[in-house]
Structure 1
């Protein structure tokens, strides 16, 4: 899922010859990308012209946006109603005006879209660390509607490359603007979206569920795919640009959020999936220290098989990868994994491996909520046993498909294989379709549950950590197409918690009469209570205690229907197995 890993210094050189080589190489890479981008634009135009105007293949929010590498983008809000404009707000870059919108319960709130926090990362700034945005030229900057987002690809849509390189923007929503009569400031919640660091954009997450509470919500647009994670491994292009973009956005929040009624001393980060990993990354980075005061990670931390473990020894291979891209899939064909580099230490996002930073206590010591969904990997597991043919392939290629590819284990360790079969499959030598739950648990434990549990335990030595286990199963899932003909229950799949927090275009909206409404409202209140008190309020029950270990296992709060329940984890034996294996095999670095 994640593509950034580590930028630990390997070799630092300062010879003038090498500097000249770097400049020349960087210029050549930029030219290569420009040529490829131009070719892709032509391809997209040809495809568009040959599709007989079939505009239904791409969501309306994307229709007006194409790949324009140095443009600011068209209006893509899909909103044909007359815009009600907000009062004018003044920030350090100048004055701006947003729109007046309605919350879920009909409350007026103000949204300001596409506010620049960084200079456009184009031309000589492409693949460079972000720089703060300067003053805008407009007398009053128009922030009334969504303009664009960062270039990315959506692998679920054909030819769906959208966005612009001029994209280092934030979207701010607030219920109350400060005035002479009311100078009260409220907490700020900064959301970092997921998408495997390859796709997605912030503006698709509409925050109007949150706007029934007194809170400020900030959404960050940041570089992804090759533009956010290319790392040549030789210091020319250092990587982790998406995380550095986010850190710069947090500095903008610190310096400007008071103008929107937000308290710069009450900032909480939260994110899902790759966004959850980003939140944890900021806890580990000196670059973001002091910029936030609490954190919520929903399904992901900076550990586990989501992290790449190799780096580019041959920067020339990058050029070959560019040359081989001849389809409109650049954002997926070029993942640009972030890797160890000899970047100037002062510009690094990570100063050491994440596991070392946690073990040494070199982290931001703030309260942290961290949790997982009950069936994170059901879509992957079900696909592996979807029919008899798939099951046969799985059993024939078990070592390669599961032990190596999915779990990242050594292929010749028979003892580990035996333990896995005993723990997850009742000691069976053959996997069947009925093993879908065991397979789901196996993949979810390795990728999400054990990394989150490990990170939480390490952080809890220095600051309060609150565990939750989300098992609210909805009628709607991001992965409904992966359920095949299996009967319920399915559990809560990866990302299924998002429908309760945002009006997100991959789920039906949760309206006042929706059966999901009560749970959505409760979850919003718990998250907002954390922003206010840096301790989650479990809706009238006994206080939500930080991590505590009993004789039988760790205590987790189960997020399902009311009431929220405190449970001893039922998977301690599985976690102890992974404790031992990750240590023996050095799986966390």
Structure 2
């Protein structure tokens, strides 16, 4: 049970899986120096040797390591559906440790699977019960490795300095991957066959390693469950990240001006770590997490969208997918009064429209109305169940399913083998209300073999589904194909390759091996193509100076009040009318512009206005344009009919680079 590593010897422990099989485990191996004191916020540093040159010293690695400092979820009290994600080991800044679990007897050149936990980059730990490594290792004869990495501001604060360089949590992961590369052979693993797998923020992390020029050569292939690098919540701009850091400094009573970065850093280093993570949360939207990765120019050399477009990523096999109800888990935490943790929750039409507004705070009215139109069942627009479920699909599509699809399509386009799934089974023992369906994270227990535990209340069909999924995941790690085992035998169900033209996926469900296309191709086309095209087609650059009526029509882009939809309809009616009146206005203008007396101008305008209330509205705008030469108006008269058809211009959230964000 003693293994030699590059930093010294470690002693492990033999454990028994729930199925009765034994495995060997080394728990809490240090892979970096303690990130405390002056090392807080910095990239990790390699650990010192622990034997200090004395071969007799062996490090005991027999206890689960600390979890990194994070907030604890208390919203639903001791409800197991939420507390299952809270840390189950003490939280500490001293947390950069990893775990290695190996089958017995010790294998040689075994496939290695490295798990990266999720939690929105603000929470999570590799030690959760639902991630219990023992069953997957014992049943599938793979080596399973996991690491703790820093989360929240301690892992992702960014000030664009050497002291606070950002992405520290990703560099933690990369140092752990380097440790695997250097040491896993001593445990019986094959360093040339390492598969990363993760869920949610863990899946985003895996995908960022696919893009990173620094870490992409430290592993072979990747599995991503409900996450991709183009998820709206995965990346924020550097400016936005600095701004959030300064807001945190202000909340902690530290210097918080842009010119005081050094002082803010020193002050934040002195603060209690738990106080830091408790003060990170300001007014954020759904799925918006305070401190997340950035394009730092080092770990990431370009934005994920551009990296994918230019094919700047690791070319390898990938397996990925999502669940049918990805949105509900997050809606619970964002609309707590409407979405209660109980049965018989319904959403009427007014509540649906208000929820769409609250879940889409950064888009303009045209975009919001388009979203309402896309997710309304127009055969039953007042159906409270369909309205409730539509909100789940709206959030789930945009935040998870569609960007997972996008990555799969990009990879398939470049000729890589892509295997895609849609997880559709709801466990009978699921503690959440029945209407929540198959939520974000529900597949994890099946990947790690929890249904095989005889002390848990899973049904035989669920046990079979878990065995099938463990085999798929392990086969992929061993051979690059979930359908093909190490000995060349095929699974009973063939998992089709996801192609750019067919977009095939396999359904993961009890008593079902159906295949499909997509998933949710229509809805994803809305987010990825229709909505951006709508906003682009309704966006017109402001001419300088603009025609008065153009000002009115274009100003509808900025309408955000509750009555905006009504005003948009009014403008849609007025603008064609103004286009018709424009030749008359141009003629009158030429006459009025020759008048030198302001009183004559005003009296002429009053006479004109008395015949048209519409022109009364235009008076303040025309009053500023009297000096314009009359010769310009024929040109405006020519342009106006086309300009008048444009009603709105899109708003862009400063730290978003692509679509308007739902969160």
TM bin, normalised by shorter chain, reads: 0.7 to 0.9
Alpha-carbon contact 2:157-2:241 (below 8 Å) kept: no
Deviation by residue 1:154-198 (Cα, 9 ceiling, x = unmatched): 2237798841212111100001465xxxx7210000001111111
Shift of 1:316: 4.4
Q: Which has the higher contact order (CA 8 A, sep 6+)?
A: 1
Contact 2:18 2:452 in 1 (8 A): no
The answer to whether residue 61 in structure 2 is matched with residue 143 in structure 1 is yes
Are 1:199 and 2:123 matched, yes or no?
A: yes
Alignment of 1:255-404 (within 5 A): 255-307=182-234, 308=236, 310-313=240-243, 316-323=246-253, 330-334=276-280, 337-338=291-292, 345=297, 348-381=298-331, 384=338, 391=348, 394-395=351-352, 397-398=354-355, 400-404=357-361
**1:90·1:96 contact (CA, 8 Å) conserved in 2?**
yes
Task: Work out the CA distance in 1 between the residues paired with 2:176 and 2:49.
Answer: 16
Distance in 2 separating the partners of 1:376 and 1:412 = 25
Q: Aligned pair 1:103/2:17, yes or no?
A: yes
Change (3 A) 1:374 1:123: same
Are the equivalent residues in 2 in contact too, given 1:555–1:567 (CA < 8 A)? yes
User: Structure 2 residue aligned with 1:467, among 410, 414, 420?
Assistant: 420
Q: Deviations over 1:274-318 (max 9, x none)?
A: 111111111111111211111100011122332345332486444
In structure 2, list runs of 5 or more residues that go unmatched.
79-85, 255-270, 282-289, 485-489, 536-657
Does the CA-based 8 Å contact 2:496-2:506 persist in structure 1?
no
Distance 1:445 1:89 in 2: 46
Aligned to 2:147: 220
| TM-aligned CA distance change 1:127 to 1:578, over 3 Å | same
Q: Distance in 2 between matches of 1:498 and 1:398?
A: 29
Structure 2 CA distance for partners of 1:511 and 1:565, relative to 1, 3 Å: farther
Of the candidates 447, 460, 477, which is equivalent to residue 531 of structure 1? 477
Three-state SS of the structure 2 residue aligned to 1:118 is coil
Paired residues of 2:505 and 2:515 also in contact (CA < 8 A): yes
TM (norm. structure 2) is 0.66
What is the SS of the residue equivalent to 2:28? strand
Find the counterpart in structure 2 of residue 445 from structure 1: 397
| CA distance in 2: counterparts of 1:375 and 1:529, whole angstroms | 27
State which structure, 1 or 2, has the greater radius of gyration over its C-alpha atoms: 2
| Alignment check: 8 A CA contact 1:250 1:291 kept | yes
Kept after mapping to 1: 8 A contact 2:2/2:9 = yes
Aligned to 1:574: 523
Q: CA deviation at 1:265?
A: 0.7
2:441 corresponds to 1:495: yes
Q: Distance in 1 between matches of 2:181 and 2:659?
A: 36
2-structure distance, mates of 1:148, 1:268: 25
Q: Which residue is equivalent to 2:496?
A: 545
User: Could you say if the C-alpha distance between residues 372 and 98 of structure 1 is closer, same or farther in structure 2, counting changes exceeding 3 Å?
Assistant: same
Give the drift of 1:201: 1.0
**Contact map agreement 2:93 2:273 (CA 8 A) in 1:** no
- Mapped contact 1:194–1:273 kept (Cα < 8 A): yes
CA–CA distance in structure 2, aligned partners of residues 286 and 442 of structure 1: 34
Q: Is 1:209 matched with 2:281?
A: no
Q: Tell me the secondary structure at the aligned position of residue 460 of structure 1.
A: helix
Question: Does the 8 A contact of 1:155 with 1:332 survive in 2?
Answer: no
Work out which of the residue numbers 167, 171, 189 in structure 2 matches 1:244.
171
Deviation at 1:464, TM superposition (A): 1.5
CA contact (8 A) 1:510 1:517 kept: no
More helix by share: 2
Q: Please tell me whether the aligned partners of residues 153 and 329 of structure 1 are also in contact (alpha carbons under 8 angstroms).
A: no
Q: Counterpart of 1:370 in 2: which secondary structure? A: strand
The worse-fitting range, judged by mean Cα deviation, of 567-576 and 217-226 is 567-576
Partner residue in 2 for 1:169: 97
Q: Evaluate the alpha carbon distance shift between residue 388 and residue 170 of structure 1 in structure 2; reply closer, same or farther with a 3 A threshold.
A: closer
User: In structure 1, the residue corresponding to 2:319 is in which secondary structure?
Assistant: strand
Residues 1:492 and 1:314: Cα distance change in structure 2 (over 3 Å): closer
Measured after TM superposition, the shift of residue 151 of structure 1 is 1.6
Contact 1:225/1:332 (CA < 8 Å) preserved in 2? no
Which residue number corresponds to residue 517 of structure 1?
Answer: 463
Structure 1 residues 166 and 323: alpha-carbon distance in aligned structure 2, compared to 1, 3 A threshold: same
CA RMSD of aligned residues (A): 3.2
Between the aligned partners of 2:4 and 2:50, the Cα distance in structure 1 is 12
Distance 1:327 1:114, change over 3 A: closer
Match of residue 83 from structure 1: none
**How far apart are 1:422 and its partner, in Å?**
4.2
Comparing 463-472 and 157-166, the one that deviates more: 157-166
> What CA distance in whole angstroms lies between the structure 2 residues aligned with 1:440 and 1:569?
18
Further displaced range: 436-445 or 536-545: 536-545
When residues 156 and 500 of structure 1 are mapped into structure 2, their CA distance, relative to the original with a 3 A threshold, is farther
> Aligned in 2, Cα 1:581/1:134: closer, same or farther, shift over 3 Å?
farther
**Residue 115 of structure 1, aligned match among 20, 25, 29:** 29
Is the Cα contact below 8 Å between 1:557 and 1:565 reproduced in 2?
A: yes
Question: What is residue 42 of structure 1 aligned with on the other side?
Answer: none
- For 2:323 and 2:294, the matched residues in 1 are separated by 31
Q: Provide closer, same or farther for how the CA distance between residues 421 and 427 of structure 1 changes in structure 2, counting only shifts above 3 A.
A: farther
Q: How many Å apart are 1:510 and its aligned residue?
A: 5.9
Q: TM-score, normalised by structure 1?
A: 0.74
Contact 1:500/1:510, CA 8 A, preserved across alignment:
no
Residue 530 (structure 1) shift: 0.5
Alpha carbons of structure 1 residues 112 and 428: separation in structure 2 relative to 1, 3 Å: same
Mapped partners of 2:483, 2:142: distance in 1: 16
Q: Distance in 2 between matches of 1:472 and 1:315?
A: 40
Instruction: Judge which range, 111-120 or 380-389, deviates more.
Output: 380-389
